[in-house]
């Protein structure tokens, strides 16, 4: 079953509820940059996100440079942003 | 103490000894892209690299999308590629 892409109205409603997350140009993804005290804390956070992602079977596109972690969420099966991205962002925020 | 940047001759000697690693344009870094069966294996590899990096106090610039891990190694203190990058790449290869 195809996953529904969020409508413009849904994006406008949901994204502002996620602190620090913003729409990527074109609206097909959301992103947030996280900063930590050091690499150990940054990677510790990544390990937590990895477990959430695997459990949700929905994986981030992300990068890390020392204490910074940049996360992009998008749903390839929906060819854009879906509720799965919003749900994973919420879970990340709850960490 | 400043870390020495590798000379062109040293780069030409050392980089070919690292299978799959290539010089980034400009020669200030080396990179390699790794592919795994799935996210769990990709992130398991990242966790191993993270421990090596923290132990060496030398950290990669890297990104992950599902089963792919792209690693870039450079030494900011040397403003380019140093022996620390070669050493970390060797340790990653030994995993």
pLDDT digits (tens, 9 = 90+) for A29-56: 999 999 999 999 999 999 999 999 999 9
Model confidence pTM above 0.90: yes
What CATH number does the domain containing A26 carry?
A: 3.30.1360.20
| CA B95 – CA B93 distance, rounded (Å) | 5
For A26, the enclosing helix (H) or strand (E) is: none
Q: Rounded to whole angstroms, what are the CA distances from B72 to A26, A34, A75? A: 28, 20, 26
Q: Which residues of A touch B65 (CB under 8 A)?
A: 59, 61
* Interchain contact, B39 vs A50, CB within 8 Å: yes
Q: Please give the C-alpha separations between residue A29 and each of A22, A36, A83, B4, in angstroms, as whole numbers.
A: 9, 23, 11, 41
Whether residue A39 and residue B50 make contact (CB cut-off 8 A), yes or no, is yes
Give domain status of residue A58, yes or no: yes
Contact B92, B17 (CB under 8 A): no
The tally of domains found in chain B comes to 1
Nearest to A64 among B40, B62, B65 (CB): B62
Q: Is residue A29 part of a domain?
A: yes
Which domain covers residue A49, as residue numbers?
A: 8-94
Mean predicted lDDT score pLDDT of chain A: 96
**In-domain check, residue B3:** no
Is the Cβ pair A65, B65 closer than 8 Å? no
Q: Judging by beta carbons within 10 Å of its beta carbon (0-12, 13-18, 19+), is residue B21 exposed, middle or buried?
A: buried
Neighbours of B1 (CB within 10 A): 4
Any domain includes B1: no
Q: How many CB atoms lie within 10 A of CB A41?
A: 14
Q: What is the spatial distance between Cα A35 and Cα A63, in angstroms, rounded to a whole number? A: 12
The model's pLDDT over B30-86, given as tens digits with 9 standing for 90+, comes to: 999 999 999 999 999 999 999 999 999 999 999 999 999 999 999 999 999 999 999
The reply to whether B63 falls in a domain is yes
Select from B49, B50, B72 the residue whose CB has the most chain A CBs within 10 Å, as the one to mutate to test that interface.
Answer: B50
Q: Is residue A85 part of a domain?
A: yes
Q: CB count, 10 Å around CB of A70?
A: 15
Looking at the domain assignment, is residue A26 inside a domain? yes
In a domain? residue A2: no
């Amino acid at each position: 079953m195809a996953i529904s892409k969020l409508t413009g109205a849904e994006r406008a409603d949901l994204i502002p509820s996620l602190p620090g997350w913003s729409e990527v140009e074109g609206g097909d993804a959301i992103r947030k940059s996280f900063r930590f005290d050091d690499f150990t804390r940054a990677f510790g956070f990544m390990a937590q996100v990895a477990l959430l992602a695997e459990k949700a079977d929905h994986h981030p596109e992300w990068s890390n440079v020392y204490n910074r972690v940049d996360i992009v969420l998008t749903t390839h099966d929906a060819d854009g942003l879906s509720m799965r991205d919003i749900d994973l962002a919420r879970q990340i925020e709850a960490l």
